[in-house]
Amino acid sequence: QVQLVESGGGLVQAGGSLRLSCAASGRTFSNYAMGWFRQAPGKEREFVAAISERGGITKYADSVKGRFTISRDNTRNMVVLQMNSLKPEDTATYYCAASAVWRGNYDYWGQGTQVTVSS
């Protein structure tokens, strides 16, 4: 089992920045690829960003490329999503997830943190 706890959400004006953190506990963190997903009201959950087990490979949704950066610190069992130039359409609940296989299914999910971007 891997337990994931997100933090860092909040209310920010358009053009602002937020830094989301996800703290992991349980099994060896460095064995898992990590991802961020988001779900806005009335919409399906969508992929935001992912990072490989050692952090050497990252992947982003086109909608956030150039604005968001995913990183991880395996010594602290943490993954971070730095979000810059935020837009109202980034408003959603953001979820951290862990996958035992890069580009595989995500097996573990956090409870989510709310991000609201005002115009």
Percent of the chain with pLDDT over 90: 93
Tell me the per-residue pLDDT of 60-98, one tens digit each, with 9 for 90 and over: 999 999 999 999 999 999 999 999 999 999 999 999 999
CA distances from 69 to 35, 58, 79, 100, 107 (A): 12, 9, 11, 21, 22
SS3 90: helix
Tell me the per-residue pLDDT of 89-103, one tens digit each, with 9 for 90 and over: 999 999 999 999 888
Question: How far is residue 63's CA from residue 80's CA, in Å, rounded to a whole number?
Answer: 18
Tell me the per-residue pLDDT of 14-47, one tens digit each, with 9 for 90 and over: 999 999 999 999 879 999 999 999 999 999 999 9
